[in-house]
Amino acid sequence: MKVFLFVKNSEKAISTARELKGFLTSKCVASELFVNRGKVTSPKALRKSSLMVVVGGDGTFLAGARLASRWGVPVVGVNEGRFGFLTEIEPSEAPRMLDTILSGKAKLQNRIMLSTYLYRKGVKKFLGNYLNDIVVSKSAIARIMEIECFSNDKFMMRVFGDGVIVSTPTGSTAYALSAGGPIVYPTSESLLFIPICPHTLSNRPMVIPADFSVRFRISSKDNAAYLTMDGQRGLFLKKGDVVEVRKSKTYCRVYTNPNLSFFEILRKKLRWG
């Protein structure tokens, strides 16, 4: 077995990762430490790894998950960030969690991802698979944008407002939650559609089947809209552009904390009673 340590570029995260690398060495497990410094192509060592350990915050986890999912490599997150919705394991718990995984006693979860495409002047371009969300939002200050929304090629609505979000259940606790969307259990197979500050107040969030596609046609002028994927990649959109989002054939395989339920995470992070 080989473990790939995907690490946030911070002193604390790197220090924790080095300690975990030492622990793995003591267990006679080969490992490689990779610090995430921005643009990352798929490291060759990852392709031959049996596990990715992300050391950082949820942003680092999303970046690592996109890489690991290409090769079907399972991911576990060690929290050295702020929120820890995705990086569930605290550093003090990490050696015990790795022991559980290495012994084959940990259970994997399959999380759906979003395949994203851009249609521009008749040309279709694949933009990647994403774990959290796809957002089309306004790029100018205090401008209402117009987006035509379709699902399975059927017209849904015309949104006048700040934009729209398509989220996975995993991403339901991220931007979608802030925009008024529901919390959905992360292993569910569904898509969330959330208008952002719609001018028409009857435009409400919806949960739709995972096998439905969602398309957005941009009616606003060139560069008035911006496409953001997982909050980390993005591009300006032109009038007439179509963004298509659908459930990916690729899943993100995740090891979660066996001692911490999703509801406990919500109580802790959202300060529920």
Q: Where are the beta strands (DSSP E) in 17-102?
A: 30-36, 51-56, 75-79
Beta-carbon contacts of 114 under 8 Å, excluding residues fewer than 6 positions away, are 129, 130, 131, 133, 134, 166, 168, 191, 245, 246, 247, 248
Phi, psi of 194 (to 5 degrees): -130, 115
Q: DSSP code of 109? A: E
Q: Which residue has the tokens 């622990």?
A: 23
| Beta-bridge partners for 151 | 154, 214
Q: Check 58, 162, 230, 241 and give the catalytic one.
A: 58
> Which H or E run contains 149?
strand 145-151
Q: Tokens 């205090």 correspond to what residue?
A: 142
The answer to whether 58 is a known catalytic residue is yes
CB-neighbour burial class of residue 112 (10 A; exposed 0-12, middle 13-18, buried 19+) = buried
- Name the 3-class secondary structure at 106: coil
Q: What are phi and psi for residue 255, nearest 5 degrees?
A: -90, 125
Please identify every residue annotated as catalytic.
58
